[in-house]
Structure 1
Amino acid sequence: MEPGNQQLLSAFLGYLASERQLSVHTLANYRRDLERLDQQLQELGCPGWQTLSENNLRRAVGRLHGNGLSGRSLQRMLSAVRSFYRYLTREGVVSHNPALAIQAPKSSRRLPQTLDVDQIDALLERETEDPLQLRDLAIMELLYSSGLRVSELVSLNLVDLDFSDASLVVTGKGRKTRVLPVGRKALAALERWFKVRSGLVRPDETALFVGRRGTRLTTRAVEQRLARQGEQQGVNGRVYPHRLRHSFASHMLESSSDLRAVQELLGHADIGTTQVYTHLDFQHLMDVYERAHPRARRKKE
């Protein structure tokens, strides 16, 4: 990356960290996407962000797509470029945003993987006295009960949970907080975890969930533990935090059809992000319809 380009990118990332307060993970995504695009632009003979034209950006996107980058990845990249150029315009570095009129190639939208209610029960309805198993059960119950992101889960502190009110204060993307309900079974699992937590935690640790060393769990540790739990219980497919979040959203929509409420619970800024779950709900309705309607049942072979 050219020195001038690196300076502009570093300033932009600093702005995202300090003013937008984005997570380290999100910042890494911005950096990776913009550096990848910058490399492609330089190969096309367009070395500077300040001189980038709409036509050259379109050529770079086309080249990246031709080299196998998916439409979804290109959409994210273009979103990063738009944000970058909004910042550059605000700072007076450029006078136009070359990414505004460019659309990424369309790609089929993958439906989120979910667990059905029987799989959830197989995963969560267990008796154990092992402290780490009790912690894992509390984690899974909370992910499924309240639809948390794994980053939100690992950032939880003791003070964020209110047993008397059955509620939880969660800090999501952009440091936005929301108050979520906690279900009865999740509260019971958390109470069982609290009874053994003191035997693991360091005296000054405020995290709700800790590991063997008594310190806050990482997202990677949670992912590994959930994958292991899924294997041990024979769940079909890999169990991971976002799959429990997807299951929460899908089951809530199946029962309530209240898209706005599910949007608020998930902490989605755009309801369009939540609407992917309506496709899952429609699939569920189609299954019910084909089983129940006398003129829709499939013939037995």
Structure 2
Amino acid sequence: MNNLLLQSQSFCDYLQQVRQVSPHTLSNYRRDLDKFIHYCDSQSLENISAVNAHHIRQCIAQLHRQGLSGRSIQRLLSALRSWFRFAIKEQWIKQDPSAGISAPKSPKPLPKTMDVDQTADFMSVDHEDCFYETRDGAILETMYSSGLRLAELTDLDLGNIDFSAGTVLARGKGNKQRLLPLGKIALNAIKQWLSQRKLFAEQDEPAVFISKKGQRLKPRSIQARFNRQSLAKGHPVNPHMLRHSFASHMLESSGDLRAVQELLGHANISTTQVYTHLDFQHLAKVYDNAHPRAQKKDD
């Protein structure tokens, strides 16, 4: 194993053990760094100190020619910058060779969402087995009520739900916690599910959502349930689309971007702006009510 691979592994160990990034995020970092290391191998670069801006630009150009999107290249650049910052800290290099390098721009499509009626229809679960009907119904209601990510839902433990306060404690990216409200419908759905759960749960299993074997549900299992529900309803919906719909409905109703940012657990408000959208009529109404020069004065 050359030094570049060792340095990459050291960085990934740091992300996992110190930064405590999610397995999904860690996998993305590894995949992006592997792309760059593959390029470095073709250039006989065996140490991070041998990498310069020219190599990074050449790698980006090559990946772009191969069809990698601007968004994916931007993510790769972000991974490289984090790696180089770590390398500076470890004194492997003195400066970041990626400074000033940007990815090719690509259009940002609006996230796919459902309207309120479509969401309500998708959430109505009909199953011949009471276990699946109550569990899947509670999963959908919880995700839509609080805008949870898939990983946040699967990580939920019984102690994270406060029925008297109507809240749920979610553990998000970077192991950051946030307290979120749970609506009455979601709370009732969870209570119905818990009456089924106790018949199947393994002893001392803390997870809210479990399989029939009594063990914590994995993200892939929930994705499979979404696929089943999508077939039953006749239109494709994935867990992130439900989160998008939550954000869109909250923003359209309240117009409070900062509040939606807090609910979603976004570190930067720019991320919230990408995940949500307002229609022009709502924007115009907000403008008319808020801008001092937009309001008509009485004669």
Output the TM-score relative to the length of structure 2. 0.91
Q: What SS does structure 1 have at the residue aligned with 2:213?
A: coil
- Cα deviations across residues 148-192 of structure 1 (Å, max 9, x unaligned)? 000000000000000000001111010100000001111111111
Distance 2:49 2:85 in 1: 13
Give the one of 279, 283, 287 matched to 1:282.
279
Distance 2:38 2:114 in 1: 40
Aligned to 1:156: 156
Counterparts of 1:35 and 1:277, CA distance in 2 = 28
Question: Residues 212-231 of structure 1: matches in 2 within 5 Å?
Answer: 212-231=212-231
Structure 1 segment 96-245 matched on structure 2, within 5 A: 96-125=95-124, 130-234=130-234, 236=235, 238-245=236-243
Q: Secondary structure at the match of 1:180?
A: strand
- The letter for the 1-side match of 2:256 is D
CA contact (8 A) 2:143 2:149 kept: yes
Contact 2:160 2:170 in 1 (8 A): yes
Residue matched to 1:299:
none
The whole-number CA distance in structure 1 between the counterparts of 2:281 and 2:242 is: 18
Structure 2 CA distance for partners of 1:28 and 1:282, relative to 1, 3 Å: same
- Alignment deviations for residues 1-50 of structure 1 (CA, whole Å, 9 cap, x no partner): x5111110111111111110111121111111001111123324544321
Q: Which residue of 2 aligns with 1:73?
A: 72
**Residue 134 of structure 1 contacts residue 193 of structure 1 at CA under 8 Å; is this kept in 2?**
yes
Residue 92 of structure 1 corresponds to 91
Provide the alpha-carbon RMSD of the alignment.
Answer: 1.8
- Answer with 177-186 or 33-42: which moved more: 33-42
Q: How far did residue 286 of structure 1 move?
A: 8.6
CA contact (8 A) 2:126 2:133 kept: no
User: Could you state the TM-score of these two structures normalised by the residue count of structure 1?
Assistant: 0.90
Is the 1:170–1:180 Cα contact (8 Å) retained in structure 2?
yes
Deviations 1:73-97, CA, capped at 9 Å, x for gaps: 0010000000000000001010011
User: 8 Å contact 1:46–1:56 — kept in the other structure?
Assistant: no
1:175/1:124 Cα in 2 relative to 1: closer, same or farther (>3 Å)? same
Deviation at 1:285, TM superposition (A): 4.3
How far apart are the structure 1 equivalents of 2:45 and 2:8? 16
Q: CA deviation at 1:252?
A: 0.4
User: What secondary structure is seen at the aligned counterpart in 2 of 1:281?
Assistant: coil
CA distance in 1, matches of 2:281, 2:153: 29
Question: For 1:181 and 1:53, how far apart are their aligned partners in 2?
Answer: 49
Q: SS of the residue aligned with 2:178?
A: strand
Identify unmatched segments of 5+ residues in structure 2: 286-299
Distance in 1, matches of 2:105 and 2:59, equals 16
Q: Secondary structure at the match of 1:174?
A: helix
Q: Name 2:261's counterpart in structure 1.
A: 263
Instruction: Return the alpha-carbon distance in structure 2 between the equivalents of residues 221 and 80 of structure 1.
Output: 29
User: Given that residues 150 and 242 in structure 1 are in contact (C-alpha distance below 8 angstroms), is that contact kept between their aligned partners in structure 2?
Assistant: yes
Query: Which stretches in structure 1 are left out of the alignment for 5+ residues?
Result: 289-301
Query: Given residue 62 of structure 2, which amino acid in structure 1 is its aligned partner?
Result: R
Tell me the SS of whatever aligns to 1:244.
helix
Q: Is the 8 A contact 1:44 1:60 kept in 2?
A: no
